Chains A and B, each alone.
Chain A
Amino acid sequence: MLFDELVLTIMKAVNHQRTVSSPFHLIKGKKSGQTLQDIGYFHLYPYFSVLPRLEKAAYDQTVQRFYEQGLLVEGEENIHLTAKAMALQTPVPLLNGWKYRGNEAVFFQRLSLVIQTFSHVSQGIRIFDPVQTAEDIQSWVKSYLRAIRFREPSVYADFNAELITTFKAIQATDQQKLMLMQRLSGYGLSGMTWKQIAGVHGIQPIDAQLQTVEVLHGWLEVIEQQRPPLLSLLAEGLVQQSALTETAKRTKSLFENGHSLEEIAAIRRLKTSTIEDHFVELAMNEPAFDHSSFLTNEILKEIVAVSKAQKTKRLRDIKQKIPQASYFQIRLALAIKEEQQ
């Protein structure tokens, strides 16, 4: 998936309902209430935080291009895609940003240092400049290598075999897979910069970055399914056990201990609106979330019905039709998973 395709895919999902800059915050992984809620409302899980270092200028260039290509109507605050844009097909992404939350970068850092070590040591070189300079990555990799007894030739061969088998199984194109491999270094062979990779493949650096994130997400998925011993250990601790933010987790445990929303706000010395955000997050992520203390089934059904009939997820539109519902209730109702309703 190319960067422009990513932006277009998100824009299609939130067309007419969110601002032109909202996809930027999603791609960058902004942890604001609005962005987090939208992920649930619009099913944007794959795209969350896939390019944490995305610069606004790069995003704006894409928007500008969309205007020029007649995909996006100019001069409107909300996204307004043209029929031409709606007719464009975008590829199905391999991304799973909500699940991996940037941890694919840590996986890559570990991997690149492990491969660099294997590459040198297997060719008799014991001293080299580590390609990862962060102290925490270095010490993690050191204990990993010790744990797997990396000096044994059979371990080297096993690692190599796991690498090839799982890499083959990723649903990405061979070209994409090559891009990721070009970010790795070994004895006498350096990694390539984004600019260099982009040049080789005739794309933009940002596209190359996105393509490798896709490969990494696809790869972690394969590793989770196939459970190869060495690579599973390499990915240890990187797959989120819970999709909740830390702060929402604290709210959840107070709630489960019988505290009300207002009590939680008082205990945690946070605004009630913040605690409300947490509950919306809970509703979005926890299949077992019990909404009964905030919302009767009647109101829930009513909100969902209006949202569907009017094809809108804008709070103001729904509030106009159901004035007795609070904004918090509307947000909760929209966040609750369909299968629970």
Chain B
Amino acid sequence: MNLDDLLFTTYGFASFRPGQREVIEAVLEGQDVIALLPTGMGKSLCYQLPAHQLRGSVVIVSPLLSLMQDQVSQLKKMGEKSVVAINSFMKSEDKAKVWKHLSSYRFIFISPEMLTQDFVKRQLQRIQVSLLVADEAHCISQWGFDFRPDYLRIAEVIPLLGHPQVLALTATATPKVTSEIKKYLAIENPFVYQHPMDRPNISYDVRKFKTQDEKTDWLVDFVTNFEGPGIVYAGTRKKSEHLAALLTEAGLAASYYHGGMEHQDRIFVQQQFQNGELQWVCSTNAFGMGVHIANIRHVIHFQMPTSVEGYVQEVGRAGRDGEPALATLLYADGDEALVESLLIDELPTEHEIYTVHKNGIQASSLVEQGIIRETAFRVISYWLNQLGVEGTLQQIGKMQSEKLKQAAKMRGLIVGGRCIRDYLLECFNQQTDRKPANCCSFEGVDYTVYRKRILKTTPDTLTSWEARIQALMPMKNG
């Protein structure tokens, strides 16, 4: 069966998206593969489809619980039933059930810290693993914005599993990170697929202001004039709430989204955005994962992002349908200071380091209690293990200066006085010889290609519980 037929009979898609075929072919030829595919290009298909040809299970290492849950639900939505997600927050009786039936799963999602446990390794040794996927492989880079220390230990599992093929997937990797992936996953001669980073349908707009208030005024004016859907990245939780309130006041269907909200509320905001009930979501960088909307027209950064990689990932959520989309970055004098303080907040604090050190093995329960942040915990325990307390403090210091360097690179995009597209591509060692007509604010942005706001008044008729039940569960004679 050729690949197109396989794709159609398995998932009902008529054609591949750019890059998928190249990667899948290489996997099916038995090669190790590093695939750099932009966000929203259907990375998961690169292991999903081969799973139907390979013997045995596909093990996918996924860095965050929420991401893993989203991947599982997307797979199930596509009709895959033989899927399981293993993470340390599972109940032990559920885990026991999973171990018993491990070989029956086609897709096994696992967190890196589980993967490297001796017990888990033994369980995986019992079954045939045909493909080991390192998803979000840039997490392996200790200088990167998403460092997950346990990724460094994936390599030690590979020989135990009888050297399955390795597929490393990421949306954002500089050449430096790509070579780190090769090195730490110990893959010698991989097939590297690098999709052009450039997204020709996205135009880049940088707008400079004197004060924060000017920024706010501009934002309200802009969103009342242009049609969404759009995301406004606000920088902080508080700011996201504040901006959403302003937009709501201006009569727009807007809401906020951040990690401090109750889980159910977050799902509702995603639903509303997906259903078109919301035009604008003001959010922290927590929003994006689990949002599968192709027609996002605008991504607006109200604050300067902390790294070029993060910026590219967030901007990449716009215009997945290929239609024109606009990425707007708002900058006011002095924004660097805010970004720097945000960066430092993201890093493990001295207090967290000492707390984890003091609590030893029990420290993981501090994560569940919300005393230590999950990401900080991973980084701290890895370095404590490697370097001890003093070494960890030093290491975090080094990470801080590296992050400040990344912020400076981001600032370069704003003050560089040159084509933004060129600048971004250069950061990833790429270039393009075919610039789109509507490139960036340096070359001049044509706003007429973006639809003006359509004023709709959707009267909310669901003002009684009876009406709402009827809308949820319509009865023909009801």
| A and B are interacting partners | yes
Asked if A115 is an interface residue, CB under 8 A from chain B, the answer is: yes
* Chain A residue at minimum C-beta to C-beta distance from B66: A133
Interface contact A122-B473, CB-CB below 8 Å: yes
Asked if A178 is an interface residue, CB under 8 A from chain B, the answer is: yes
* Chain A residue at minimum C-beta to C-beta distance from B292: A129
A193 vs B258: C-alpha distance when bound (angstroms): 13
Identify which of residues 442-473 in chain B touch chain A, using a CB-to-CB cut-off of 8 Å: 462-466, 468-469, 471-473
Asked if A174 is an interface residue, CB under 8 A from chain B, the answer is: yes
Asked if B221 is an interface residue, CB under 8 A from chain A, the answer is: no
Interface centre among A123, A160, A182 (most CB of B within 10 A): A160
Contacts of B275 in A (CB 8 A): 188-190
Interface contact A133-B73, CB-CB below 8 Å: yes
A199 vs B91: C-alpha distance when bound (angstroms): 38
Interface contact A190-B268, CB-CB below 8 Å: yes
A276 vs B337: C-alpha distance when bound (angstroms): 57
Interface contact B464-A174, CB-CB below 8 Å: yes
Contacts of A163 in B (CB 8 A): 469, 473
* Chain A residue at minimum C-beta to C-beta distance from B475: A160
Interface contact B466-A164, CB-CB below 8 Å: yes
Interface contact B69-A177, CB-CB below 8 Å: no
A186 vs B462: C-alpha distance when bound (angstroms): 13
Identify which of residues 139-174 in chain A touch chain B, using a CB-to-CB cut-off of 8 Å: 156-157, 159-160, 163-164, 167, 174
Interface contact B271-A184, CB-CB below 8 Å: no
Asked if A196 is an interface residue, CB under 8 A from chain B, the answer is: yes
Asked if B216 is an interface residue, CB under 8 A from chain A, the answer is: no
Query: What string of 1s and 0s marks CB contacts (under 8 Å) between B280-324 and chain A?
Result: 000000000000000000000000000000000000000000000
Interface contact B268-A193, CB-CB below 8 Å: yes
Asked if B189 is an interface residue, CB under 8 A from chain A, the answer is: no
Asked if A78 is an interface residue, CB under 8 A from chain B, the answer is: no
Q: Closest CB-CB distance, A326 to chain B, in whole Å?
A: 36
Which of B261, B463, B465, B472 sits near A193, CB closer than 8 Å? B261
A163 vs B471: C-alpha distance when bound (angstroms): 13
A128 vs B94: C-alpha distance when bound (angstroms): 25
Q: Closest CB-CB distance, A75 to chain B, in whole Å?
A: 31
* Chain B residue at minimum C-beta to C-beta distance from A176: B465
Q: Closest CB-CB distance, B51 to chain A, in whole Å?
A: 20
Interface contact B255-A184, CB-CB below 8 Å: no
Contacts of A228 in B (CB 8 A): none
Contacts of B462 in A (CB 8 A): 189
Interface contact B471-A189, CB-CB below 8 Å: yes
A189 vs B268: C-alpha distance when bound (angstroms): 10
Asked if B44 is an interface residue, CB under 8 A from chain A, the answer is: no
Contacts of A196 in B (CB 8 A): 255
Asked if A53 is an interface residue, CB under 8 A from chain B, the answer is: yes
Contacts of B475 in A (CB 8 A): 157, 160
A226 vs B466: C-alpha distance when bound (angstroms): 20
Interface centre among A178, A186, A190, A194 (most CB of B within 10 A): A190
Which of B77, B255, B263, B271 sits near A185, CB closer than 8 Å? B271
Which of B268, B277, B474 sits near A122, CB closer than 8 Å? B474
A246 vs B271: C-alpha distance when bound (angstroms): 39
Asked if B272 is an interface residue, CB under 8 A from chain A, the answer is: yes
Which of A53, A127, A177 sits near B465, CB closer than 8 Å? A177
Interface contact B274-A164, CB-CB below 8 Å: no
Interface contact A194-B265, CB-CB below 8 Å: yes
Query: What string of 1s and 0s marks CB contacts (under 8 Å) between B378-400 and chain A?
Result: 00000000000000000000000
Which of B69, B77, B465, B472 sits near A189, CB closer than 8 Å? B472
A193 in contact with B265 given A129-B77, A177-B465, A178-B468 (CB within 8 Å) = yes
Contacts of B73 in A (CB 8 A): 129-130, 133
A156 in contact with B267 given A178-B468, A190-B275, A190-B277 (CB within 8 Å) = no
Query: What string of 1s and 0s marks CB contacts (under 8 Å) between A185-225 and chain B?
Result: 11011111111100100000000000000000000000000
Which of A118, A157, A160, A178 sits near B463, CB closer than 8 Å? A178
Which of A186, A188, A194, A199 sits near B473, CB closer than 8 Å? A186
A167 in contact with B465 given A119-B472, A133-B69 (CB within 8 Å) = yes
A interface with B by C-beta (< 8 Å): 53, 115, 118-119, 122-123, 127-131, 133, 135-136, 156-157, 159-160, 163-164, 167, 174, 177-178, 180-186, 188-196, 199
Could you list some 14 contacts between A and B, CB below 8 A? A119-B472, A129-B270, A129-B274, A135-B94, A178-B464, A181-B465, A182-B468, A185-B472, A186-B472, A189-B275, A190-B268, A190-B274, A191-B271, A195-B265
